[in-house]
Structure 1
Amino acid sequence: MTCTLFSWLILLLALTTPSQGHHFGPKSRLRYSRFLDPSNVMFLCWDFDLEAEVITFELQVRTAGWVGLGVTNRYTNVGGDLVVGGVLPDGNVYFSDQHLVDEDTLKEDGSQDAELQGLMEDAFYTTMRFSRPFRSCDPHDQDITSDTVRVLAAYGQDDTLKLDREHIFVKSIFLLQIVHPDDLDVPEDTIIHDLEITDFLIPEDDTTYACTFLPLPIVSKKHHIYKFEPKLAHRNETMVHHILVYACGNASTLPTGISDCYGADPAFSLCSQVVVGWAVGGTSYQFPDDVGISIGTPMDPQWIRLEIHYSNFHNLPGIYDSSGIRMYYSPRLRRYDMGVLQLGFFTFPIHFIPPGTQSFMSYGLCKTEKFEEMNGTPVPDIQVYGYLLHTHLAGRALQAVQYRNGSQLRTICRDGSYDFSLQETRDLPARVEIKPGDELLVECQYQTLDRDSLTFGGPSTINEMCLIFLFYYPRNNISSCMGYPDIIYVAHELGEEASDSMEGMMAMNNVEWTPENIKKAEKACKEAQQTVIIKTIDEVVENTTGWIPDIIPTPRGPCLESTGGKVEPHDKTPAGFRAKLLSLSGASMASPGSLPLATLLFTQGTLSLFLATLQARD
């Protein structure tokens, strides 16, 4: 849903009911939108300019009082910034850049870094539109980054600027998403195909990985899958943690029925090349217009493994499920066949995270030097256009870093504010090229302050994972490239005896996890030699070894100097800043003193536009 569609409803109401305030002139379309609360009272639209580093918001709230929008952090709203505004009974508007001193108190910033573009109130809604820089020079303004952003929204039922916890909401949003399905081409000859588990009785266990093998659509010529979306059974949404579709090599002998993916029958873990993936918080994903998943040729897989991870934390009995993935495909071909490369820390108990740690880093190395040999044919340069990040509940940040000839080349993707509840496929702002011989390093940061025992790598939600899926083209046969450290070396560095990997894992339970030993363990895991496991779609596996390189942090860009005030004297001004750039609005602003004329022009112009639109549709 775009903001334009929702605005038509607001517009129709405004034409039939009195409205007042600081009205909107002609304005640019905002591409992205989302409801912020469970009752759909607060509707947010936004858009951004990556070059100018300015973001524009429009907040529409079902209230006649004040409204507020800002950014907060993971743990507390205290310190969060909140831009507030409203329309007084006499038609005058108020608008201010503020921050939360405590859970109940707002204070105006000394530096006013939000630019008002419109405030309007009618019988149903208060609507506020403003822009702000990604990063201002005011320390009270939290940055808008390519990370997950925790959007803070609030409103009042009148114009008394008082916080009511029942009217405060925080929602994790990936604000700087690059594309949106509404902006992409949708073929008219689209065919829909569902890959799903039917009437599966969810076990009463905390964690279940259910797998089955299903055929892909049978087509007489090549087609491309260009979009997928989760198909979640009603009332079971909270139990479905993730859904993965793995392509099977044509030489695989596949079992029938539904069984535990990683249980007694190893056949149900066959097929390891991820085709598409969905996780909690994600929505549909449409590939860029020049890439798709190829089906229908002798080189394409005929079968897939459907994996659904259920988290039945309340051990509910008698729950049946028919969830899966819906695929959209078409004979209209795209330029490139896409593939997915799985990177990270190989998921098994050698991956450990100590209890009671504020921050613990884990690393998984990939060396691409064997890709061509294992692929069987020359591997062209990989063009990465998207990614999906995945940890479990202790994960706080992830990044994938690229190295070439021993030097750090770039950070491919990252999220320094990862939220387990928002795992969605994201597009890169620019495509990244990976050449044969490059090294790829995944770093995951964890926090376990709420745990008093070790967390091991594993499939359960209370275990941990450290994975990044890269979406790329042109497709090759490599399905995954993941690493893990020499656990024997790590045990010895912690003063424990171990002669094999099993003893090394068991030795971690003997360690007293003091802050000193936590730092020692993190250092040992980074310095230990990594075993790198490379796997193909046909389940061919080869190992190599390597060492974890250092990661050079990416410096932050300069902040934008405010035109609306000065930074408080007691705050440190950042060393680098630049003049404030033009905002993304394109909106004309009417002054409160000219409201009658502005109202008339707004109504006449909008009504004419609306009537013209209706005539064009007839």
Structure 2
Amino acid sequence: MTYALFFHLLLLLALATSSQGHRLGPKSRLRYSRFLDPSNVMFLRWDFDLEAEVITFELQVQTAGWVGLGVTDRYTNVGGDLVVGGVLPDGNVYFSDQHLVDEDTLEEDGSQDAELQGLVEDAVYTTMRFSRPFRSCDPHDQDITSDTVRVLAAYGQDDTLTLNPEHTFVKSIFLLQIVHPDDLDVPEDTIIHDLEITDVWPFTLPSHPAPFPSSHSRLAPLLVPTFSTMVHHILVYACGNASALPTGISDCYGADPAFSLCSQVIVGWAVGGTSYQFPDDVGISIGTPLDPQWIRLEIHYSNFHNLPGIHDSSGIRVYYSPRLRRYDMGVLQLGFFTFPIHFIPPGAQSFLSYGLCKTQKFEEMNGAPVPDIQVYGYLLHTHLAGRSLQAVQYRNGSQLRTICKDDSYDFNLQETRDLPARVEIKPGDELLVECHYQTLDRESLTFGGPSTINEMCLIFLFYYPRNNISSCMGYHDIIYVAHELGEEASDSMEGMMAMNNIEWTPENIKKAEKACKEAQQTVIIKTIDEVVENTTGWIPDIMPTPRGPCLESTGGKVEPQDKTPAGFRASPVALPGAGPSGPRALPLATLLVMQGALSWLLATLQATD
């Protein structure tokens, strides 16, 4: 009987140990990394577990003082959370989950939701490694989401916890990225070709058809460091093989409509983006008779200081291989048709614009059956007034899902992002893009247009298998909007001119937003061969995405909206991570209890024998 009890206890202890799970330990490799400051003093590594909703950070700073890492919002650091730690001269370690009471003062959270994994100091660096849940129930902890996250980092030159503006930095990072170029190696048979502007601008791109069927696997921006801050975006377009290509030199959006041809986006880069590598089974096909034989390279500049005599050679570096991939990718451009109907009132705390896409005509315009579209990635694009974007999918009149979104959009961090799971779009589905703007710093109307001081509302969906549809965008009936605002208008031009007559009070801003949403939308669908067809539709309502549960705090207050039974969940015994490691060490008290129990059992067994 005693042996049975002993075996049973050992089994329970084994189960207790294994139930601790696996997490990223102090020596596990973290997949992602960034410098957080211009001088490259602060280096961040991180990794995460989407299933467990836990993220692990490792911050390395060139200092012998304290270091801190957390999350803040776009407007102020006050209220931001900051996990701080350091090593005292006597070797003792301190570590605490805190928040900013004001710009200069830190206060410890009532709930300690960060878990220390390691804190060391050598002759050069202080390195702190810790994990925390994506979302705790502590109101002082900012959520880690799939949106752009503004990472707050700070350090001191000694162990006095005093914030210094010169040692405090905020950097926008897409923390929950799915793949990253650092993870992926370029195949040995990869060929590199640079599509770039020469010393002469404007520039006519010569054609370079591939000598064999091949597939793009990776793209990287080529930016001249001196002028990189002036490059607004770089786009590569495919030209339909039936297109009549222009000759000579002209503006991209000038009077000659021939220079607006070739509107099928293949790839692109925008401010803050890095290189992008396609999934292993997806690529851009080039060199076959069905592929475009010509492309157009377009670069937009923002030369706000009117600097003269600039000669640029920026562009896109293309990596391609003779090994064809399983799927040929395409890009579908969605959103608000940029010019000339789009407008945003001045002085708006919040203003929403909508662009509708109806896909029921895709097959007719494609000239062949359109298989279900498998979306694997996306790129979001507004200009400086943009605050958030989302693309929502509807089927048979019901909202199906939010395909992609960013509620914390940052113009300076525009990058191609992969979806955590591929999304299927069927013929007949409707797609809606919603863009949220803020214009409190503007005294006049903002119109849609290519300039950085204009606005756009675009989402590019990266999908397979490729079809001939290049864009599907909508715009509202501006005549209806003008009438709702008490203005007379008989055509679109008069409707837009009427917007200048409005006194843009908060009431009129909301009235205009409501009218824009309720107005009938014209949907413009274009193909790679510049075939255009219009249809109409109405903006459906968007049901908000429910917020996931938070991890129950060990103290502090639960947010009011989390007090329902489904609003929070108990903190797990261990915080599992994304990589392999050994079982988590048990607390010292638990080990002592186990040791005492085993000693008692051994003594009992010896007495029985």
Q: What is the TM-score normalised by the length of structure 2? A: 0.89
2:204 maps to what in 1? 212
Which of 364, 369, 384 does residue 373 from structure 1 map onto?
364
For structure 1, which segment, 180-189 or 84-93, has the greater mean C-alpha deviation from structure 2 after superposition? Answer: 180-189
3-state DSSP class of the match of 2:178?
coil
Residue 16 of structure 2 corresponds to: none
Q: Which amino acid aligns with 2:491?
A: D
The one of 567, 570, 587 equivalent to 2:556 is 567
Contact 2:333–2:459 (CA under 8 A) maintained in structure 1: yes
Name the counterpart of 2:9: none
CA distance in 2, matches of 1:519, 1:434: 33
1:292 aligns with 2:283: yes
Mapping for residues 337-486 of structure 1, pairs under 5 Å? 337-486=328-477
Alignment of 1:313-352 (within 5 A): 313-352=304-343
Residues 304-334 of structure 1 deviation map (CA, whole Å, 9 limit, x = unaligned) = 1111000000000011101111100001111
What displacement does 1:349 show? 2.8
Change in Cα spacing, 1:267 to 1:579, as seen in structure 2 (3 Å) is: same
CA contact (8 A) 1:26 1:588 kept: no
Q: How many Å separate the matches in 2 of 1:531 and 1:154?
A: 50
AA at the equivalent of 2:222: K
Contact 1:33–1:43 at 8 Å: present in 2 too?
yes
Cα separation, 1, equivalents of 2:206 and 2:354: 34
Decide whether aligned partners of structure 1 residues 572 and 246 sit closer, same or farther in structure 2, where only a CA change above 3 A counts: closer
Give the match for residue 138 of structure 1: 138
In the alignment, is the contact (CA less than 8 A) between 1:117 and 1:130 conserved in 2? Answer: yes
Counterpart of 1:21 in structure 2 is: none
Give the 3 Å change call, closer, same or farther, for CA 257–590 of structure 1 in structure 2: farther
Deviations 1:269-323 (A, max 9, x none): 1111000010000000000000000011100011111110000000000111011
The change in CA–CA distance for 1:87 and 1:157 in structure 2 (over 3 A counts) is same
State the one-letter code of the partner of 1:369.
Q
2:207–2:294 contact (8 Å) kept in structure 1: yes
Matched residue type, 2:192: I
Given that 2:139 and 2:557 are in contact with CA atoms closer than 8 Å, whether structure 1 keeps it comes out as: no
1: CA distance, partners of 2:582 / 2:309: 55
Are residues 572 and 507 of structure 1, via their aligned partners in 2, closer, same or farther at CA, if it must alter by over 3 Å?
closer
CA distance in 2, matches of 1:291, 1:313: 38
Q: Which residue is equivalent to 2:596?
A: none
1:3 corresponds in structure 2 to: none
Corresponding letter in the other structure for 1:360: F
Aligned residue for 2:435, secondary structure, equals: strand
Alignment of 1:594-613 (within 5 A): none
List gaps (5 residues or longer) in structure 2.
1-23, 589-609
The alpha carbon displacement at 1:449 in A equals 0.3
Quote the Cα distance in structure 1 between the aligned partners of 2:42 and 2:300: 32
User: Distance between the aligned counterparts of 1:430 and 1:320, measured in 2?
Assistant: 42
- Looking at structure 2, the residues matched to 517 and 123 of structure 1 have their Cα atoms a distance apart, in angstroms, of 61
> What is the aligned partner in structure 2 of residue 35 from structure 1?
35
CA distance in 2, matches of 1:90, 1:591: 26
Flag the structure with larger Rg: 2
Over 3 Å counting, the alpha-carbon distance change for 1:574 and 1:77 in structure 2 is farther
Would the aligned equivalents of 1:185 and 1:289 in 2 still touch at CA under 8 Å? no
For the aligned residue pairs, the C-alpha RMSD in angstroms reads 1.8
Deviation (angstroms), 1:264: 2.7
What's 2:198 paired with? 198
- How much has 1:29 moved relative to structure 2? 1.2
CA contact (8 A) 2:470 2:526 kept: yes
Shift of 1:233: 1.4
Equivalent AA in structure 2 for residue 80 of structure 1:
G
* Residue 158 in structure 1 maps to residue 158 in structure 2: yes
For 1:147, the equivalent position in structure 2 comes to 147
Taking only the aligned residue pairs, the percentage that are identical comes to 86
Shift of 1:592: 13
Distance 1:592 1:317 in 2: 66
Gaps (5+ residues) in structure 1?
1-23, 202-209, 594-618
Paired residue secondary structure (1:182): helix
Structure 2 counterpart SS, 1:462? coil
Q: Distance in 1 between matches of 2:379 and 2:510?
A: 29
Supply the distance in 2 between the matched residues of 1:211 and 1:143 (Cα, whole angstroms).
Answer: 46
Which stretch of the first structure deviates more once superposed, 225-234 or 374-383?
225-234
CA distance in 2, matches of 1:52, 1:510: 54
- Pairing 1:268–2:256 present: no
CA distance in 1 between partners of 2:558 and 2:485 (Å): 48
Alignment partner, residue 10 of structure 2: none
- Structure 1 residues 90 and 258: CA distance shift in structure 2, 3 A: farther
Tell me if the contact between 2:139 and 2:559 (Cα under 8 Å) persists in the aligned partners.
Answer: no
Aligned equivalents of 2:173, 2:523: Cα separation in 1: 34
CA distance in 2, matches of 1:481, 1:429: 24
C-alpha contact (below 8 Å) 2:26/2:117 kept by paired residues: no
Count of residue pairs brought into register by the alignment: 559
Shift of residue 590 of structure 1? 9.1
- Name the counterpart of 1:506: 497
Q: How far apart are 1:468 and its partner, in Å? A: 0.1
Tell me the alpha carbon deviations over residues 212-253 of structure 1, each in whole angstroms, 9 at most, x when there is no partner: 343244223x10001111111130101101000000011112
C-alpha distance in 1 between matches for 2:309 and 2:99: 48
Is 1:103 aligned to residue 109 of structure 2? no
Bigger mean CA deviation after superposition, 484-493 or 252-261: 252-261
SS of the residue aligned with 2:482?
Answer: helix
Q: What secondary structure, in the 3-state scheme, does the structure 1 residue paired with 2:204 have?
A: strand
Give 1:187 deviation, angstroms: 1.8
For 2:81 and 2:32, locate their aligned partners in 1 and report how far apart those are by CA, in whole Å. Answer: 21
* Counterpart-to-counterpart distance in 2, 1:372 and 1:591: 60
- Residue identity matched to 2:125: Y
Contact 2:32–2:182 (CA under 8 A) maintained in structure 1: no
Between 211-220 and 517-526, the greater mean CA deviation after superposition: 211-220
How big is each residue's C-alpha offset from its partner over 1:509-541, in whole Å with a ceiling of 9 and x where there is no partner?
001111111111000000000000000000000
**Residues 375, 536 of structure 1: 8 Å contact kept:** yes
Query: What's the CA shift string for 1:327-380, capped at 9, x where partnerless?
Result: 000011111000000000001131000000110000000000000000000000
SS in 2 for 1:520: helix
CA distance, structure 1, for counterparts of residue 494 and residue 205 of structure 2: 36
1:228 aligns with 2:219: yes
Q: Tell me how far 1:589 sits from its aligned partner.
A: 8.2
Q: Which amino acid aligns with 2:66?
A: W
Does the residue aligned with 1:271 lie in a helix, a strand or coil? coil
In 2, distance between residues paired with 1:215 and 1:552?
A: 46
Q: Report the TM-score when normalising by structure 1.
A: 0.88
Q: Is the 8 A contact 2:137 2:557 kept in 1?
A: no
Please tell me the residue identity of whatever aligns with 1:310: Y
**How far does residue 211 in structure 1 lie from its aligned partner after superposition?**
6.2
Q: Is the 8 A contact 1:148 1:415 kept in 2?
A: yes
Report what 1:206 is aligned to. none
What residue in structure 1 maps to residue 180 of structure 2?
180
Q: Distance in 2 between matches of 1:115 and 1:414?
A: 30
Within the alignment, does 1:558 sit opposite 2:549 as a pair? Answer: yes
Aligned amino acid, residue 57 of structure 1: F
Alpha-carbon spacing, 1:216–1:478, altered in 2? closer, same or farther (3 Å)? farther
Give the direction of change, closer, same or farther, for the CA distance of 1:507–1:88 in structure 2 (3 Å limit). Answer: same
Contact 1:25 1:588 in 2 (8 A): no
The 3-state SS of whatever aligns with 1:235 is helix
Residues 569/259 of structure 1: CA separation in 2 closer, same or farther (3 Å cut): closer
Q: Which range moves more in the overlay, 251-260 or 410-419?
A: 251-260
Matching residue's letter, 1:377: A
> Where in structure 2 are the equivalents of 1:521-560 lying within 5 Å?
521-560=512-551
Q: Distance in 2 between matches of 1:103 and 1:56?
A: 26
Shift of 1:553: 0.3
